[in-house]
Structure formats: C-alpha cells, structure tokens
C-alpha cells in the first residue's frame, strides 16, 4: 500500500513539474510562432497525459485488489433443484358432436301431426311426427285379419296331417298361404312405419323446420327436424405432423372456452393415423364433458395438449440467459460462497430444451444444487467477487 501511494505521489509531482515547464515552453513556442514546433509539443503533452492516466488506472485496480476497497456487486441467486416440467402444445379447435343430424321424411305426403317443439328433450325411438298414410293403416288391418285366418287354417291342417288325415298338398298350401300373408303384413308394417318420424337417439330438438300441414317429399331433400345430443361433445384439432409421436391417446389436455369462460381438464381420446397432405397435420379428438348442457357445437376452443413431461427437470427463468458472439447460451452461477455471503461469479455455457411460461429446461451445463445468479447477472463478469442478498 505504501509503495503504491509513493508511486502515485511521484506521478503527480512529475505531472505538476511537467505542467510548469510546459507552461514556460508553450509561452516561448507561441512567441516564436513556429507551427510545426507547436504541433510537436502538443503531441508530446498528449502522450504524457495518456501515460499518466494509464498509470493511475493501474494503481486504482491494484489498490482495490490488495485492500478490497472496490464495490462488490450485490446479486440474488436461485438454487437449482429437480422439478416436474410439463410442456403444452397450444392449438385452436372447434367443439363438435357426432350426434347432430337432420331428420328427413321417408314418404311423400302431408305432415298431419308434429308432436314436439324446439327445445324439447326426446328419448331414443320417440315419435316426433306423422305423415298422412293414404289408407295404409286400414289395408294393414285387413292383412292382419287375413294372416290370422291363414294361421288358424294352417294349424288345423297341420294337426290333421300329423294324424295322417288329408293330403300333403292341402297341408303345403295352408303353410304357404300362412307364410305369404305374414310377409305381406311385415311389408305393410315397414311401409306404414315410413309415415312416422322417430328419434334415432336421445337428445334435444334444436330446430323444427316444417309446420304441421306442410307437404313433405323425400325427393325434395327438405328436413323436418334437427336433433342434437349435447352429452357426447368433443373438440376436433389439427395437430402438426411433427407432434405425431408425442401426442397420443391418454395425454393430458386443458381446454378453455372463451365464450363461456370455462376451463376443462380432459385427455386425448383419439389421434388420427392419416396425415392431411394439404396442411401436413393429423386429427385429434378430445372429449368434452357437458353435464350442464352449456357447451354447444361449433364453439371455439383453445386447447393445450401435454406433449412432453420431465419429472426431474432443471428449470431456470429465461431472463438469466445470455448469448455470446458464437451464439452459445450461458448463465452465471455463484461459487465459493463464504459465511459472509461473499462468493465468486462463474460463467457456465448451457444447452436448453423446451420452454413454458417463465421456465426454461436446461439439458446440460448446470447441476442440481447450483446457485444461478438471477438479479444482477448483467453487471458481473467471470471470476468477479459478488455479494449474495440475504435470505436468497
């Protein structure tokens, strides 16, 4: 220390002496008016000043290093511990239902009865409407009467034949007549059934498109009802082909419905095996529970699919990562930490993986238990002494 101060004093005395001598010399040079001499003397003084500034800077650094009087930067650290890391693929999809159909008439005629209205809850097989049958019901009753008579005749002829009474041809004629009338009844019943419209599954009548008294015709392609089942809802998503291996049935999914403000947790039900050549994606179905009935078809849904999980990931905030001229990412860690919370900064080049929110996965470069410098990392350099904030 004494030696450093002595050197500094000598440098200052030399500077002062040079200043006095230079003042006299400058005055005489100006009086002489020699331009080349003035420029040469100016350059000499500038060089002397640069040399003295360099010496002063070296003295300051030496004094700080020897006596520790320099200001030690204050930093905060984060101790790295393995933690579960979930990465989510964020996409957008539409809510759909596989039970959303239009009901068409199967026979032409007049719509003589509409038994439901919009919003009605119906069960599977329930009668929704009737079409004028044009007398087919009466014809069916006649056929049923004929079938009953044919059955009675056949039973009697069968008993006689079993007792060896009567001819075989009489028995066969009675049997054929009975079977023919049964087939006629079945055909008439099937034809008459086309004059009714029934619910193929349970659901809600979403729309009644034709009023009672309207004329219907299958050839016209005009539906009568729209039937929707809101219990079997799902979200359909197009997922890029690069995620084919990571998005599979059973993966965790978070669904957000902006219109309703609802969030739903579910899992992938089905992942398609066909890549659409148009957009290089495959289809994924995610079931949507809908006990309340609030979720409607064609609602927009924001979907987050868990495509990657690491149970023991090393996570750091993205704000602590810097990049050097070679494109390498690095962080500073605190090492050699003493009881007075004074340590040293050490640079570590890292390799990062996936990121999610405020977490970046580090694949190499740091180890569990390392103290990553968070606040103050931009103000330090390799090997510099640092003071760690209390309580961090």
Indicate whether 281 pLDDT > 90: yes
pLDDT, average across residues 74-83: 92
Residue 361: is its pLDDT beyond 80?
yes
Question: Region 65-85: what's the mean pLDDT?
Answer: 79
Query: What is the CA 188 to chain-centroid distance, rounded?
Result: 56
pLDDT in the model for residue 64: 58
Largest CA distance in the chain: 165
C-alpha–C-alpha distance, residues 142 and 188, integer Å: 11
The candidate with the shortest Cα–Cα distance to 49, out of 12, 74, 82, is 12
Of the candidates 316, 313, 314, 327, the residue with the CA atom closest to the CA atom of residue 377: 316
Report, as an integer, the average pLDDT of 164-190. Answer: 86
Do β-strands 322-323 and 329-335 pair in parallel, antiparallel, or remain unpaired?
Answer: antiparallel
DSSP output for 281-346: EEEEEEEE--TTS---TT-EEEEEEEEEEEEEE-EE-GGG-EE-TTS-EEEEEEES--TTSEEEEE
- Angstrom distance (rounded) from CA 116 to CA 361: 58
**pLDDT surpassing 60 at residue 133:** yes
pTM of the model: 0.56
Residue 320 has pLDDT above 50, yes or no: yes
Q: Is the dihedral of CA 90, 92, 94, 95 positive or negative?
A: positive
DSSP secondary structure letters along 14-57: HHHHHHHHHHHHHHHHHHHT-HHHHHHHHHHHHHHHHHHHHHHH
Size (the chain), residues: 392
Question: Angle at the Cα of 227 (from 224 to 230), degrees rounded to 5?
Answer: 165
Which of 78, 1, 62 minimizes the C-alpha distance to 389? Answer: 78
| pLDDT, position 67 | 52
The pLDDT assigned to 3 comes to 43
Tell me whether strands 127-131 and 77-79 are parallel, antiparallel or unpaired: unpaired
DSSP one-letter string for 51-117: HHHHHHHHHHHHHHHHH--SPPPEE-EEE---EEEEEEEEEEEEEEES-EEEE--SS-EEEEEE---
Residues 7, 59: contact at Cβ < 8 Å? yes
pLDDT: which is higher, 79 or 11 = 79
Bridge partners (DSSP) of residue 235 are 95, 286
Cβ atoms 285, 270 nearer than 8 A: yes
Please tell me the predicted confidence (pLDDT) of residue 63.
Answer: 66
Residues 122-131: pLDDT tens digits? 999 999 999 9
pLDDT value at position 383?
87
Q: According to the model, what pLDDT value does residue 80 have?
A: 93
Convert the pLDDT of each residue in 4-26 to its tens digit: 444 445 444 444 445 445 555 67
Mean pLDDT in the chain? 85
User: What token pair was written down for 346?
Assistant: 């050490």
Inter-residue contact 373 to 343 (CB < 8 Å): no
Alpha-carbon gap, residue 170 to 264, rounded angstroms: 72
User: Percent of the chain, pLDDT > 70?
Assistant: 90
Q: 214-271, pLDDT tens digit by residue?
A: 989 988 889 999 999 888 789 999 999 999 988 989 999 999 999 999 899 999 999 9
pLDDT band at 392 (very low <50, low <70, confident <90, very high): very low
């Amino acid at each position: 220390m004494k030696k450093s101060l002595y050197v500094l004093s000598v440098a200052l005395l030399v500077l002062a002496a040079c200043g006095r001598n230079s003042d006299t010399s400058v005055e005489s040079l100006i009086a002489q008016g020699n331009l080349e001499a003035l420029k040469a003397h100016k350059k000499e003084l500038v060089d002397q000043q640069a040399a003295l500034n360099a010496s002063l800077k070296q003295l300051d650094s030496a004094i700080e290093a020897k006596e520790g009087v320099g200001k030690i930067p204050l930093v905060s650290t984060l101790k790295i511990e393995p933690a579960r890391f979930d990465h989510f693929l964020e996409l957008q999809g539409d809510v759909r239902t596989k039970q959303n159909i239009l009901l068409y008439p199967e026979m032409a005629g007049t719509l003589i009865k509409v038994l439901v209205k919009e919003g009605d809850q119906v069960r599977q097989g329930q009668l929704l409407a009737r079409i004028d049958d044009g007398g087919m019901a009466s014809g069916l009753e006649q056929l049923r009467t004929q079938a009953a008579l044919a059955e009675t005749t056949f039973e009697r002829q069968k008993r006689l034949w079993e007792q060896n009474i009567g001819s075989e041809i009489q028995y066969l004629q009675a049997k054929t007549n009975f079977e023919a009338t049964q087939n006629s009844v079945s055909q008439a019943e099937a034809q008459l059934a086309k004059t009714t419209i029934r619910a193929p599954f349970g659901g809600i009548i979403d729309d009644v498109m034709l009023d009672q008294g309207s004329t219907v015709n299958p050839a016209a392609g005009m539906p009568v009802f729209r039937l929707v089942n809101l219990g079997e809802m799902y979200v359909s998503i197009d997922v890029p082909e690069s995620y084919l291996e990571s998005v599979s049935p059973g993966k965790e999914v978070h669904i957000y419905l902006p219109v309703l403000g609802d969030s739903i947790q579910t899992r992938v039900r089905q992942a398609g095996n066909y890549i659409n050549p148009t957009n290089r994606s495959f289809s994924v179905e995610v079931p949507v529970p809908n006990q309340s009935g609030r979720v409607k078809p064609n609602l927009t849904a924001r979907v987050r699919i868990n495509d990657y999980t690491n149970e023991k990931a090393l996570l750091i905030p993205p704000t602590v990562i810097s990049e050097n001229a070679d494109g390498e990412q690095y962080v500073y860690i605190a090492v050699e930490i003493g009881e007075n919370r004074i340590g040293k900064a050490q640079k570590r080049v890292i390799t990062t993986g996936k990121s999610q929110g405020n977490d970046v996965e580090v694949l190499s470069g740091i180890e569990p238990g390392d103290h990553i410098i968070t606040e103050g990392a931009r103000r330090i350099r390799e090997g510099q002494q640092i003071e760690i904030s209390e309580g961090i």
